[in-house]
Amino acid sequence: MKILTAEFLRSCVKPEDFPKDRLPEIAFVGRSNVGKSSLINSLLNRKKLVKVSRTPGKTRAVNFFHVATADPRLKNFYLVDLPGYGYAKASKSVLAEWGPMIEQYLKARPELRAVFLLLDARGTEDHDASTYAWLCDHVQRPVLVLTKSDKLSRSERGASLAAVRASFRLSEADRCAPYSSVTHEGRDELWQAIRDLVKRDQ
Ligand SMILES: Nc1nc2c(ncn2[C@@H]2O[C@H](COP(=O)(O)OP(=O)(O)OP(=O)(O)O)[C@@H](O)[C@H]2O)c(=O)[nH]1
Ligand SMILES: [Mg+2]
């Protein structure tokens, strides 16, 4: 994908902060530390556009990145980095703010064309399954991405994909693909998924 520009727009902590220009939005959801911010950097071929941290809970607001590409179907849109869930060390008050913020964003955006749910290729947790179910019921069926695939061997990757497909009861048509923000494995496939989903209702 030829990226023309990729810029941080702003960090939103309440719905009034969300942009009002109606551009298509693509959101990334997943547990804290799963690799959401790294994946956005990898997709955009930037090293430090989005802050990445070894400490879980780095992304605490809804962060919008404005992107322009050379693809006529993806001229102008936002990638949206959501705070991670399941970070037990965050203070209680921060935790109480997180859930509603994510919920408010996901439920209130007609601009939202695609939701990617990121899962660690090395194993999922109960919270991942409940988030998947919640997204299917309240927002839209998310596309699953198995992150950090570089940490697994080829055969382990196959086993991980099969395990997720079975436990999330995916159909043939449901996408689920490995991704590595280190080797960029899966990047072209992810852009293809974004293209297909953005085109869907334009
Ligand atoms: N080996 C490997 N490490 C990765 C990959 N993606 C992310 N990481 C590492 O995992 C850690 C967390 O990555 P982030 O991208 O900050 O994760 P996040 O989901 O945005 O985390 P929060 O903002 O806390 O929700 C960092 O140390 C990254 O370098 C990957 O594909 N491969
Ligand atoms: Mg992050």
CA of 113 to the centre of ligand 1 (A): 24
Q: Which two tokens stand for residue 32?
A: 């804290």
Establish whether residue 150 lines the binding site of ligand 1, counting it when its CB lies within 6 angstroms of any ligand atom.
yes
Low-confidence ranges of the chain (pLDDT < 70): 54-59, 86-98, 200-202
Which atom of ligand 1 is found nearest the CA of 183?
A: 31
CA of 14: how far to CAs of 10, 112, 119, 180, in Å? 12, 17, 26, 31
Q: What is the CATH number of the domain that holds 41?
A: 3.40.50.300
Which atom of ligand 1 is found nearest the CA of 54?
A: 27
* Domain around 111: 3-200
pTM: predicted TM-score of the whole model, two decimal places: 0.92
Establish whether residue 181 lines the binding site of ligand 1, counting it when its CB lies within 6 angstroms of any ligand atom.
yes
Report the pLDDT value the prediction gives residue 84, as an integer from 0 to 100.
Answer: 82
In the chain, how many domains are there?
A: 1
